[in-house]
């Protein structure tokens, strides 16, 4: 298969499995999504969804969150891991949004990336899922699968993002991001598939005999 043929086969297969993929993190608006995505770093979405109801019961908007202490936020999100740093970031970005953006998360990638604890991937997820702006957030899982499937050389996550954006039109980016995540969890995780097990890996590379060695993010 040529790379373009693999890309189209993968798109069709993902559409069959996940025609309307839901956003995995529970939220009610761009602000609560931003906080949830920040908490999801090195933590499962399932764990985040168990933690955020308690946090948002204390504060679910920038003004109220700004009134909490780092310790209060830390106590609420501790089970997510890296809680002291995440708590400081949540408090810091809440104060900025409240003071400088009338309490509303700005729909601007470059501005979001200046917020404490918000990197390119987090900003991309918010732009995609909160505002519907075409983005292709690449986390470690998408980075791994795109390499297994021969869609990127995978030198780093930026290269993977650039390669995926070249293969697919912008109107598909937001959906594909979610579809790849769901497929990876169900069929092509780091443990369940080594590049030779799941249907996509076997179809794209039928002659692959050994476990695929991918570049880490």
- Decide: 115 and 92 in contact? Cβ < 8 Å: yes
- Give the pLDDT mean for 26-30: 98
Q: What per-residue confidence (pLDDT) applies to 205?
A: 97
pLDDT at 155: 87
**pLDDT the model gives residue 216:** 80
Instruction: Quote the DSSP letter at residue 114.
Output: T
Q: Can you give the pLDDT at residue 209?
A: 93
Question: For the ranges 40-44, 70-74, 103-107, 167-171, which has the lowest average pLDDT?
Answer: 40-44
Residue 211 pLDDT greater than 80, yes or no: yes
Please indicate whether residue 139 is annotated as part of the active site.
Answer: yes
Domain ranges of the chain: 3-21+136-204, 30-129
Q: What is the pLDDT averaged over residues 148-177?
A: 96
Domains 3-21+136-204 and 30-129 share a fold: no
pLDDT confidence band for 189 (50 / 70 / 90) = very high
Q: What is the average pLDDT across 27-44?
A: 97
Catalytic residue among 139, 166, 175, 216: 139
What integer is the mean pLDDT of 21-34?
Answer: 98
pLDDT tens-digit readout, 97-141:
999 999 999 999 999 999 999 999 999 999 999 999 999 999 989
Using alpha carbons, list the distances in angstroms from residue 12 to 51, 58, 105, 154, 200.
35, 43, 34, 22, 11
Catalytic site residue from 121, 155, 165, 216: 121
User: What's the CATH fold of domain 30-129?
Assistant: Endonuclease III; domain 1 (1.10.340)
The answer to whether the CB of 165 falls within 8 A of the CB of 152 is no
| Predicted local confidence at residue 198, as pLDDT | 97
In this prediction, residues 206-211 reach a mean pLDDT of 94
pLDDT-based confidence at residue 201 (cuts at 50, 70, 90): very high
pLDDT at residue 90 greater than cutoff 80: yes
Predicted pLDDT at 43:
94
How far is residue 212 from each of residues 84, 129, 159, 195, 202, measured CA to CA in Å?
A: 36, 31, 19, 5, 12
pLDDT at 217 over 90: no
pLDDT on residue 215: 84
The predicted model scores a pTM of 0.94
At residue 154, the pLDDT reads 82
CATH of domain 3-21+136-204: 1.10.1670.10
Q: What is each CA distance from 35 to 22, 56, 117, in whole angstroms?
A: 18, 10, 10
């Amino acid at each position: 298969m040529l790379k373009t043929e693999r890309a189209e086969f993968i798109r069709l297969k993902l559409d069959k499995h996940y025609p309307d993929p839901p956003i995995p993190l529970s939220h009610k608006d761009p602000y609560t999504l931003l906080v949830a995505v920040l908490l999801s770093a090195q933590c499962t979405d399932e764990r985040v969804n168990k933690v955020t109801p308690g946090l948002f019961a204390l504060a679910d908007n920038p003004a109220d969150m700004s009134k909490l202490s780092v310790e209060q936020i830390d106590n609420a999100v501790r089970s997510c891991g890296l809680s002291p740093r995440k708590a400081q970031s949540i408090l810091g970005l809440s104060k900025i949004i409240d003071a400088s953006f009338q309490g509303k998360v700005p729909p601007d990638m470059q501005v979001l990336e200046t917020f404490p604890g918000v990197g390119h991937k987090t900003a991309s997820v918010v732009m995609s899922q909160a505002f519907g702006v075409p983005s292709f957030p690449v986390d470690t899982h998408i980075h791994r699968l795109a390499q297994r499937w021969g869609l990127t050389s995978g030198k780093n996550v930026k290269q993977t993002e650039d390669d995926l954006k070249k293969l697919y039109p912008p109107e598909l980016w937001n959906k594909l991001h979610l579809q790849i995540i769901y497929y990876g969890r169900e069929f092509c995780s780091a443990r369940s598939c080594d590049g030779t097990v799941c249907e996509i890996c076997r179809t794209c590379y039928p002659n692959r005999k050994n476990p695929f060695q991918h570049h880490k993010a």
